[in-house]
Amino acid sequence: MFKPLSQLRMTWQPQDWEHASTVQIRLLPASSGKTTISFHQEKLEDAFRREEMKHRWEQVIANLEERI
């Protein structure tokens, strides 16, 4: 699913994973005129993988902030 300027939903599977997960990235307008970027990932195998992906997406946001 793709909604220009607001949402991307896709299947994603790194090479070392046995199963794919679903990643959704949303751009949410904030009242301050800024934008919130939201990552939601489904079909992760366990708590370890959820924590790993939480860290990954936090790093993605940090990298974006450095580039802006």
Q: 11-60, pLDDT tens digit by residue?
A: 999 999 999 999 999 999 988 888 889 999 999 999 999 999 999 999 99
Q: What is the signed CA dihedral for 43, 66, 15, 26, rounded to 10 degrees?
A: 30
The pTM of this model reads 0.79
pLDDT digits (tens, 9 = 90+) for 6-25: 999 999 999 999 999 999 99
Say if CB 7 and CB 29 are below 8 A apart: no
Distance (Å, rounded) from C-alpha 45 to C-alpha 50? 8
Distance (Å, rounded) from C-alpha 3 to C-alpha 11? 16
Task: Note the pLDDT of residue 22.
Answer: 96
